[in-house]
Structure 1
């Protein structure tokens, strides 16, 4: 693999992970500040803080699982059961983000909210299917290792 691509991707995942934690922790302050410019955020600060913080928490967990998977790619050992578990978890977290975001539709309907729900539903399905692909690949790998 291209070392520059690996380093760049690793740095991006690390950056997103730590910034995601920071933004999630500071969500109430961010929403209060933005509420100065957007009346919707001012009037719904508490409910938006809860929804965005929960979504942020699960998004950070998705990135955490991606970082674990990425480490196995760096180690050139990606067809392992831990990655199957990580992909399943990522699917669950994505479905939860879609569900949490769908609650925002009760407060205020925007095309962006609908897009986020659809994107995370697709991400959840993709993660679940990919976990099954990895699971099969591990079985084939183990059978192949036993044959040799």
Structure 2
């Protein structure tokens, strides 16, 4: 059962990563197309392309870090310094998404935008705290390895 869940998670992360890249690269086409149905998107085409690309880029970077961390799970070696670094980066990327989304507030204010900001601030804080927990675990692991 564990192997199936592991493989499904790996496939999901890969699909999200490559799908995210495709979505980011096709944003100008997508926003232009949607602008035919929503005049707001047509009016703010450039701003929306820049803001959505920025958010998308940081989201893809978060998934990149998750994929790197997942390799350590597959190798059964989770408590390594690289995972601490990945968690810190993921926190930074989450805060950047929240910041970019705050810039969207200059264009329009909706409850969904506020929720996205809150979610990514919480995700950033969670990642930063988890990186500290992992850092301690790595330190204890290294000390234990030296004892043996």
TM-score bucket of the superposed structures, by smaller chain: over 0.9
Find the counterpart in structure 2 of residue 84 from structure 1. Answer: 84
Residue 53 of structure 1, CA deviation: 0.3
Deviations 1:65-103 (A, max 9, x none): 000000000000010000000000000000000000110
**Which contiguous aligned blocks of 4+ residues in structure 1 show a shift greater than 6 angstroms?**
none
Aligned-partner Cα distance in 2 for 1:32–1:60: 22
Aligned-partner Cα distance in 2 for 1:128–1:28: 33
Map 1:76-115 to 2 at 5 A: 76-115=76-115
Aligned-partner Cα distance in 2 for 1:101–1:115: 10
Find the counterpart in structure 1 of residue 36 from structure 2. Answer: 36
Partner of 2:105, secondary structure, is helix
Instruction: Structure 1: give runs of 5+ residues left out of the alignment.
Output: none
Partner of 2:13, secondary structure, is helix
Find the counterpart in structure 2 of residue 51 from structure 1. Answer: 51
Partner of 1:58, secondary structure, is helix
Find the counterpart in structure 1 of residue 65 from structure 2. Answer: 65
Find the counterpart in structure 2 of residue 18 from structure 1. Answer: 18
TM-score in terms of structure 2 length: 0.98
Partner of 1:106, secondary structure, is coil
Aligned-partner Cα distance in 1 for 2:36–2:11: 34
Aligned-partner Cα distance in 1 for 2:73–2:141: 16
Find the counterpart in structure 2 of residue 134 from structure 1. Answer: 134
Deviations 1:115-143 (A, max 9, x none): 11000000100000000000000011111
Aligned-partner Cα distance in 2 for 1:112–1:141: 42
